[in-house]
């Protein structure tokens, strides 16, 4: 009985115990469920780990493309690349570096090191800052500096060398045109996410305006890096690498020989020379004086040079050809003649009298001695002020044709604008200015509505409110050379593998008919043959020209020349603008003549060479130290 | 008779062996090999993963030899294991004893013996010896674990190899043997013992791990203290409900009501601190605990019931343990010991320092996403960001290369293996088979719990391998022997029933 009871108890106990398997199985199941939930949160709910893993394992090395080279219109290489070495730093890896040793190896001071480190970490000044990526520490080591540092590099974990290319220039010319490259600023990084701290960007000239073409596309090499920082080859055999796309080469429309001569001739003078090939709108040279040697802007000395140039009161950084806004003086008369002819105010045979100027109702605009009365062609040739004043007067007071003086003004303004004045032409250079062509409301405001043709008479001779850039004056020359149209001037002739912007192939017709242009051309030819531009005359080809002597209330008058050659199928249209050069014939005409000779003949004759040397010596302002920078 | 018997037995073996377990075993082996490939793949020597000079190639050798071993074990008469169990146990004790003297020092561990060109780790193999011996002892007629003498014998059988392995400085492997208490629980060890032990571990881990974090945004309260104190209250109520005496004098009265009220008061205090006025509500819970203890003591006197007294003791002991553990950790232990524990608990957040493994493991797993990066495409494990990525941290490779789906498959396979083993153990007609089966599954549970948990940053970092995944012959052979002895015993169950 006892045994039976015992067995029964044991059976019951064993049954009770068997239930414990649920506890154990339940525990195991619970553990697995908890782990699955944990995995779920780790793997599916958080992106942080993926980012950490990538920054662990991937060293993304940027592959810099070669920047496009720049050549002149004849294929002469102007700008090319040369290697330089940047020192990069990854903040999280550079812990424990012997700074003293580092400073010594790089030839920098401890102070500089600390200041630079602060700058790098300052995310306001360095918006792309990350502790895990390479930051620029020091740029553009020379090859010698680099080889010295390279030997010791293993001692400085977290410091890397990045090979970069910087610009090198073959000619000491065309600095403002070519521009330069420099490190991107915070505003560049903000504007375009392509740039990282330490990248280079075009700062001036075509380097800036063609930045996106020249720079190419950066590539990226994804390397695997193990826990000790050793590189373990390419991720997936480079499947995700992006090869850099080299920048496109530029062929400029500039003739570097012509440019060099222009700079020689303008030495010691303030002003500008712009030459345009009329049939294409290509700018053959664009001199702005004073200028500087582009080579002073290379590498680490750029900052210093930049500062000196910016402080120079003569403003060598200013490209006067497109940023200088001057009264065009008598060169503007050609545009007036065209307007009057087209509007029927005058015919080529209309003669106005001029007795040493325009005298009317007590108003007097002076003129030099010449026969009177005279028709249009000699008026242009002798640059008669009276003739054009009369012309404008007749136009603005013609109440049959124009209801009010405002209407006449508006018509006049439209003619001017059609000739490329008053607005930016749209040249492919940064910083172009629009000049000034007044309109009716300008005068309504200034004279409270009470004004007449007489009030504004000086605009007819390129004075008063009228301002043009030398480029616009040269473009006027090109338009006349073309007998009525111009193509927007541009300095880049070809972009490798890309068509030129249609803006630079389209013809802009003015509002004036071709036959009127022939009249003006005759006048300009006459000026060379027996008028104000006699010095420009040559037996080699037919030069047409127009002088200008722009009155300058602040000092000596400006000397201006606008012309083109040859008369038929013109190859070159030119504007020479010499500040404080007094008469147009003093500087403008001879310089223009030399430039045309150089371009058309390909060289200067001996006599011209001597003349050129003479001009080179003439200085219109005191040379100071900063001008010597050039040499 | 002896000649005809094997001929008669062989077909019955293949029909009675549990093919489902073998299937899970083979799938896990295959997945394990893939993970070792992923973990060992070297970019510098991107040769064949089958090359025997690489670990992935060697693992094939280990896998093949394990399968051969499994086959051989299935060929052995199952009664042999039972009869040899004492001898095997004693042999292992001797081997474990001499190991530290023969061993080469590998990263401070003295558990590896060199045999020819291979190193073996006796501690990995000893598991099956200890399990066999326990099964044998516990299947002796008249054995009752609820008798103190028998219980102590079991504890001693477990503790002696543990001690020997601790002497080899393999604390992790030694801790595995504590999993056998799970088996003891199944065999009748009072649940409260297991419960108390687990509760102590939880108090310690939670209390220390979260000591300095605020509870629910209340700066005055420590998360660790608050949670542990609440757990103590909840455990007390739980024990009260489970162990209340079935005495007639208490009928019709709900004696647990004051305890519930105490818990409610504690929660109310926390709510008050959170939303009305922040203060350290732990003091309220301590007062509640004290009141509960007094109440339980009163009940034990009133009804002359020992269980109330024991529950009161549990509550008091829990509070005491919690506070003394913190005190001991902060004031008694040496700084380097403190650091080790803090790192184990994930308190030290120092990449490249001691917590580096766990951080990198989480990064590797977390970067796997849903589908993973694909076979051999993981970067974190291959670039050696995760230390021990082919042994203890092998699960990182699964996480990184196979993603959440792969991890889930592996974990569910392990779970089904454990549950299957439990089913097999429960169907054993004799205690010996059942006890051995529970030994096996307890060891598996412990390994998976700790190994996967540490990789996920949930459990302390204890260096033990993940069964069938971690690289190495010793652990693979050890687990194979452990598992297949049980399968062999199970296959012979019908003959025993007869």
3-state secondary structure of B141: coil
* Residue B239: band (very low, low, confident or very high) from pLDDT cuts 50, 70, 90: confident
* Mean of pLDDT values over A22-49: 88
* Residue B341: band (very low, low, confident or very high) from pLDDT cuts 50, 70, 90: low
Decide if pLDDT at B3 tops 70.
no
Q: Are residues A202 and A281 in the same domain?
A: no
Q: Which residue of A has its CA nearest to B377?
A: A236
In a domain? residue A13: no
Q: Do B385 and A57 touch (CB under 8 A)?
A: yes
pLDDT (0 to 100) of residue B42: 64
Query: Which residues in chain A have their CB less than 8 angstroms from residue B363's CB?
Result: 49, 52-53, 56
Distance CA B80, CA A467 (A): 115
Q: Which residue of B has its CA nearest to A235?
A: B379
The closest of A284, A276, A461, A434 to A363, measured between CA atoms, is: A461
* Mean of pLDDT values over A429-453: 87
What is the DSSP-derived secondary structure letter of residue A561? Answer: E
Query: Which residues in chain B have their CB less than 8 angstroms from residue A35's CB?
Result: 411, 452-453, 456, 458
Decide if pLDDT at A545 tops 60.
yes
Q: Do A17 and B186 touch (CB under 8 A)?
A: yes
CA B441 to chain A, closest CA, distance in angstroms equals 10
Distance CA B91, CA B73 (A): 19
Decide if pLDDT at A575 tops 80.
yes
CB of A446 within 8 Å of any CB in chain B? no
CB of A115 within 8 Å of any CB in chain B? no
Identify which of B44, B364, B449 has the shortest CB distance to residue A232.
B44
pLDDT (0 to 100) of residue B247: 59
Q: Are residues A425 and A381 in the same domain?
A: yes
Residues 6 or more apart whose Cβ sits within 8 Å of residue A378: A370, A371, A384, A523, A526, A531
* Residue B347: band (very low, low, confident or very high) from pLDDT cuts 50, 70, 90: low
Q: Are residues A244 and A297 in the same domain?
A: no
Q: Are residues A374 and A505 in the same domain?
A: yes
Decide if pLDDT at B1 tops 60.
no
Q: Do B456 and A17 touch (CB under 8 A)?
A: no
User: For chain A, what is the mean pLDDT?
Assistant: 86
Place of tokens 């640059």: A383
CA B449 to chain A, closest CA, distance in angstroms equals 7
* Residue B243: band (very low, low, confident or very high) from pLDDT cuts 50, 70, 90: confident
Place of tokens 């001779």: A461
pLDDT (0 to 100) of residue A454: 84
Lowest average pLDDT, out of A372-386, B35-49, B178-192, B341-355, goes to B341-355
Q: The domain that contains A70 carries what CATH number?
A: 3.90.1310.10
CB B439, CB B129: distance < 8 Å = no
Decide if pLDDT at A537 tops 70.
yes
In a domain? residue A473: yes
pLDDT (0 to 100) of residue B248: 47
* Residue A254: band (very low, low, confident or very high) from pLDDT cuts 50, 70, 90: very high
pLDDT (0 to 100) of residue A461: 86
Which is more confident, A129 or A377? A377
CB of A43 within 8 Å of any CB in chain B? yes
**Residue range A137-195, pLDDT digits in tens:** 887 787 788 888 888 888 888 888 887 778 889 999 999 999 888 888 888 888 888 88
Identify which of A17, A49, A50 has the shortest CB distance to residue B188.
A17
Could you tell me the residue range of the domain that residue A193 belongs to? 59-252
How crowded is the C-beta side of A80, counted as CA atoms within 13 Å? 8
Percent over 70 (pLDDT), chain B:
87
* Residue B351: band (very low, low, confident or very high) from pLDDT cuts 50, 70, 90: very low
**Residue range A494-503, pLDDT digits in tens:** 999 888 888 8
CA A20 to chain B, closest CA, distance in angstroms equals 6
In a domain? residue A466: yes
Percent over 90 (pLDDT), chain B:
30
**Residue range A196-228, pLDDT digits in tens:** 877 889 988 999 999 999 998 888 887 777 766
Distance CA B148, CA B145 (A): 7
Cis peptide before A290 (omega within 30 of 0): yes
Which is more confident, B357 or A493? A493
**Residue range B135-173, pLDDT digits in tens:** 999 998 888 888 889 999 999 999 999 999 888 877 788
In a domain? residue A174: yes
Q: Which tokens is A512 given?
A: 């004036």
pLDDT (0 to 100) of residue A255: 93
Q: Are residues A95 and A233 in the same domain?
A: yes
Decide if pLDDT at B413 tops 50.
yes
Query: Which residues in chain B have their CB less than 8 angstroms from residue A42's CB?
Result: 362, 365-366, 399, 456
In a domain? residue A50: no
Query: What residues does A89 pair with on adjacent strands?
Result: A135, A159
pLDDT (0 to 100) of residue A209: 92
CB of A56 within 8 Å of any CB in chain B? yes
Helices (H) and strands (E) in chain A, counts: 23, 20
Which 7-36 residues of chain A touch chain B by CB within 8 A?
A: 13, 17-18, 20-21, 23-25, 27-29, 31-32, 34-36
3-state secondary structure of B332: helix
Place of tokens 């919690």: B322
pLDDT (0 to 100) of residue A622: 61
* Mean of pLDDT values over A554-564: 88
Lowest average pLDDT, out of A29-33, A313-317, A396-400, B48-52, goes to B48-52
Distance CA B53, CA A437 (A): 86
Q: The domain that contains A526 carries what CATH number?
A: 3.40.710.10
Percent over 70 (pLDDT), chain A:
95
Identify which of A23, A35, A50 has the shortest CB distance to residue B369.
A50
Q: Are residues A188 and A266 in the same domain?
A: no
Query: Which residues in chain B have their CB less than 8 angstroms from residue A40's CB?
Result: 404
**Residue range A267-289, pLDDT digits in tens:** 888 999 999 999 999 999 999 98
Q: Do B379 and A28 touch (CB under 8 A)?
A: no
Number of structural domains in chain A: 2
Decide if pLDDT at A40 tops 60.
yes
Query: Kind of pairing, strands A250-252 and A492-495?
Result: antiparallel
Give the count of Cβ contacts less than 8 A between chain A and B: 126
Q: Which residue of B has its CA nearest to A26?
A: B419
**Residue range A83-122, pLDDT digits in tens:** 888 888 888 788 878 888 888 888 888 888 888 888 888 7
CB of A95 within 8 Å of any CB in chain B? no
User: What is the number of residues in chain A?
Assistant: 631
Q: Are residues A89 and A170 in the same domain?
A: yes
Query: Which residues in chain A have their CB less than 8 angstroms from residue B370's CB?
Result: 43-44
Q: Do B404 and A50 touch (CB under 8 A)?
A: no
Which is more confident, B306 or B343? B306
* Residue A630: band (very low, low, confident or very high) from pLDDT cuts 50, 70, 90: very low
Q: Do A40 and B404 touch (CB under 8 A)?
A: yes
Percent over 90 (pLDDT), chain A:
32
Query: Which residues in chain A have their CB less than 8 angstroms from residue B191's CB?
Result: 20, 23
Final residue belonging to a domain, choices A219, A237, A252: A252
Q: Which residue of A has its CA nearest to B446?
A: A28
CA B473 to chain A, closest CA, distance in angstroms equals 26
Decide if pLDDT at B444 tops 90.
yes
Q: What is the DSSP string of B217-246?
A: TEEEEEHHHHHHHHHHHHHHHHHHHHH---
Which 219-278 residues of chain A touch chain B by CB within 8 A?
A: 224-228, 232-233, 235-236
Lowest average pLDDT, out of A175-189, A428-442, B199-213, goes to B199-213
Q: Do A29 and B448 touch (CB under 8 A)?
A: no
In a domain? residue A241: yes
In a domain? residue A385: yes
pLDDT (0 to 100) of residue A225: 72
CB B109, CB B122: distance < 8 Å = no
Q: Are residues A351 and A497 in the same domain?
A: yes
Query: Which residues in chain B have their CB less than 8 angstroms from residue A10's CB?
Result: none
Decide if pLDDT at A1 tops 80.
no
Q: Are residues A205 and A287 in the same domain?
A: no
3-state secondary structure of A562: strand
Query: What is this model's ipTM?
Result: 0.86
Q: Are residues A230 and A296 in the same domain?
A: no
Query: Which residues in chain A have their CB less than 8 angstroms from residue B380's CB?
Result: 53, 56-57
pLDDT (0 to 100) of residue A238: 73
Query: Which residues in chain A have their CB less than 8 angstroms from residue B182's CB?
Result: 24
Q: Which residue of A has its CA nearest to B428?
A: A18
Final residue belonging to a domain, choices A252, A278, A296: A252
What is the DSSP-derived secondary structure letter of residue A467? Answer: B
CA B291 to chain A, closest CA, distance in angstroms equals 31
**Residue range B271-301, pLDDT digits in tens:** 888 888 888 888 888 899 999 999 989 888 8
Q: Are residues A266 and A245 in the same domain?
A: no
pLDDT (0 to 100) of residue B31: 93
Helices A385-396 and A333-343 pack at an angle, to 10 degrees, of 40
* Mean of pLDDT values over B321-336: 78
Query: Kind of pairing, strands A219-225 and A231-234?
Result: antiparallel
Q: What is the DSSP string of A278-331?
A: TTTTEEEEEEEES---GGGGSGGGHHHHHHHHHH-TT-TTS-HHHH--B--GGG
CA A34 to chain B, closest CA, distance in angstroms equals 10
Q: Do B379 and A24 touch (CB under 8 A)?
A: no
Q: Are residues A244 and A385 in the same domain?
A: no
């Amino acid at each position: 009985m006892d045994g039976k009871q015992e067995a029964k108890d044991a059976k019951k106990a064993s049954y009770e115990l068997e239930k414990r398997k649920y506890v154990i199985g339940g525990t195991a199941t619970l553990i697995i469920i908890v782990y699955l939930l944990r995995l779920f949160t780790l793997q599916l709910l958080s992106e942080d780990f993926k980012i950490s893993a990538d920054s662990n394992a991937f060293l993304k090395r940027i592959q810099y493309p070669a920047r496009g080279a720049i050549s002149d219109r004849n294929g002469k290489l102007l700008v090319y690349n040369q290697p330089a070495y940047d020192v990069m730093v990854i903040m999280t890896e550079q812990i424990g570096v012997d700074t003293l040793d580092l400073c010594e190896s790089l030839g920098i001071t401890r102070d500089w090191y600390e200041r630079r480190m602060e700058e790098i970490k300052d995310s306001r000044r360095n918006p792309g800052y990350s502790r895990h990526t390479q930051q620029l520490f020091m740029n553009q080591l020379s090859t010698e500096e680099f080889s010295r540092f390279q030997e010791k590099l293993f001692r400085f974990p977290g410091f890397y060398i990045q090979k970069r290319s910087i610009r090198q220039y073959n000619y000491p010319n065309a600095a403002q045109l070519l521009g330069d490259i420099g490190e991107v600023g915070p505003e560049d990084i903000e504007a375009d996410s392509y740039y990282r701290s330490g990248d280079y960007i075009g700062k001036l000239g075509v380097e800036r305006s063609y930045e996106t073409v020249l720079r190419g596309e950066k590539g990226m090499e994804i390397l695997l890096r193990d826990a000790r920082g050793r590189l373990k080859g390419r991720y997936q055999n480079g499947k995700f690498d992006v090869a850099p796309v080299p920048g496109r080469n530029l062929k400029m429309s500039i003739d570097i020989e012509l440019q060099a001569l222009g700079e020689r001739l303008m030495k010691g003078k303030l002003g500008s020379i712009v030459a345009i090939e009329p049939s294409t709108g290509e700018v053959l040279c664009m001199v702005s004086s004073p200028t500087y040697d582009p080579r002073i802007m290379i590498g680490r000395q750029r900052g210093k040079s930049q500062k000196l140039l910016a402080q120079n009161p003569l403003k060598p950084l200013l490209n006067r050809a497109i940023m200088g806004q001057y009264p065009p003086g008598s060169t503007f008369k050609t545009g007036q003649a065209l307007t009057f002819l087209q509007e029927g105010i005058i015919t080529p045979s209309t003669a106005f009298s001029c007795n040493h100027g325009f005298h009317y109702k007590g108003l007097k605009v002076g003129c030099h001695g010449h026969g009177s009365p005279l028709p249009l062609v000699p008026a242009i040739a002798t640059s008669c002020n009276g003739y054009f004043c009369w012309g404008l007067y007749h136009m603005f007071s013609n109440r049959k044709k124009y209801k009010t003086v405002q209407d006449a003004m508006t018509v006049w303004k439209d003619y001017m604008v059609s000739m490329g004045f008053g607005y930016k032409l749209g040249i492919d250079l940064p910083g172009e200015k629009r000049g000034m062509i007044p309109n009716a409301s300008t005068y309504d405001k200034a004279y409270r509505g009470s004004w007449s043709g007489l009030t504004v008479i000086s605009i007819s001779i390129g004075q008063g409110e009228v301002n043009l850039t030398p480029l616009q004056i040269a473009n006027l020359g090109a338009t006349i050379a073309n007998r009525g149209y111009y193509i927007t001037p541009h300095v880049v002739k070809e972009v490798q593998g890309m068509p030129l912007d249609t803006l630079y192939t389209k013809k802009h017709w003015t509002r004036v008919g071709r036959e009127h242009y022939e009249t003006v051309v005759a006048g300009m030819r006459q000026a060379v043959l027996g008028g104000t531009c006699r010095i420009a005359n040559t037996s080699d080809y037919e030069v047409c020209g127009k002088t200008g002597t722009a009155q300058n209330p602040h000092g000596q008058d400006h000397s201006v020349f606008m012309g083109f050659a040859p008369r038929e199928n013109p190859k070159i249209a030119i504007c020479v603008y010499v500040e404080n050069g007094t008469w147009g014939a003093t500087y403008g005409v001879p310089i223009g003549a030399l430039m045309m000779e150089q371009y058309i003949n390909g060289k200067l004759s001996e006599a011209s060479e001597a003349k050129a040397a003479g001009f080179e010596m003439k200085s219109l302002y005191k040379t100071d130290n900063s001008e010597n920078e050039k040499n | 008779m002896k000649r005809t018997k094997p001929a008669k037995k062989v077909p019955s073996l293949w029909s009675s062996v549990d093919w489902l377990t073998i299937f899970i075993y083979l799938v896990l082996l295959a997945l394990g090999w893939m993970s070792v490939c992923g973990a060992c793949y070297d970019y510098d020597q991107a040769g064949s993963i089958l090359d025997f000079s690489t670990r992935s190639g060697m693992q094939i050798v280990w896998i093949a030899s394990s399968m051969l071993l499994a086959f051989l074990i299935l060929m052995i008469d199952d009664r042999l294991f039972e009869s040899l169990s004492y001898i095997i146990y004693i042999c292992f004790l001797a081997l474990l004893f001499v190991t530290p003297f023969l061993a080469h020092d590998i990263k401070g561990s003295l558990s590896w013996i060199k045999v020819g060109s291979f190193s073996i780790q006796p501690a990995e193999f000893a598991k099956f010896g200890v399990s066999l011996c326990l099964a044998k002892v516990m299947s002796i007629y008249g054995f009752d674990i609820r008798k103190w003498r028998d219980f102590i014998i079991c504890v001693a059988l477990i503790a002696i190899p543990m001690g020997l392995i601790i002497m080899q400085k393999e604390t992790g492997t030694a801790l595995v043997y504590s999993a056998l208490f799970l088996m003891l629980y199944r065999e009748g060890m009072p649940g409260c013992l297991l419960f108390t032990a687990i509760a102590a571990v939880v108090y310690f881990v939670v209390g220390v791990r979260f000591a300095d974090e605020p509870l629910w945004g209340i700066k005055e309260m420590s998360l660790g203290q608050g949670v542990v104190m609440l757990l103590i209250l909840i455990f007390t109520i739980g024990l009260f409900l489970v162990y209340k005496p079935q005495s007639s004098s208490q009928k019709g009265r709900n004696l647990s009501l004051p305890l519930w009220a105490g818990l409610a008061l504690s929660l109310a205090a926390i709510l008050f601190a959170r939303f009305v006025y922040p203060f350290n509500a732990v003091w309220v819970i301590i007062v509640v605990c004290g009141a509960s203890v007094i109440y339980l003591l009163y009940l034990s006197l009133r009804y002359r019931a020992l269980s109330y007294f024991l529950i009161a003791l549990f509550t008091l002991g829990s509070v005491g343990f919690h506070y003394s553990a913190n005190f001991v950790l902060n004031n008694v232990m040496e700084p380097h010991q403190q650091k080790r524990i803090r790192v184990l608990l994930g308190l030290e957040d120092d990449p490249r320092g001691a917590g580096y493994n766990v951080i990198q493991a989480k990064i590797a797993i977390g970067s796997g996403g849903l589908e993973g990066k694909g076979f051999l495409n993981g970067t974190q494990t291959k670039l050696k960001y995760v230390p021990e990525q082919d042994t203890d941290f092998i699960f990182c490779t699964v996480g990184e290369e196979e993603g959440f789906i792969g991890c889930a498959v592996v974990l569910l396979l392990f779970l089904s293996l454990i549950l299957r083993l439990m089913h097999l153990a429960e169907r054993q007609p004799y205690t010996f088979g059942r006890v051995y089966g529970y030994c096996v599954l307890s060891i598996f549970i412990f390994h998976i719990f700790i190994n996967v948990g540490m990789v996920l940053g949930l459990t302390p970092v204890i260096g033990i391998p993940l069964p069938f995944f971690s690289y190495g012959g010793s652990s693979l052979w050890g687990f194979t022997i452990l598992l297949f002895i049980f399968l062999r015993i199970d296959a012979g169950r019908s003959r025993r029933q007869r």
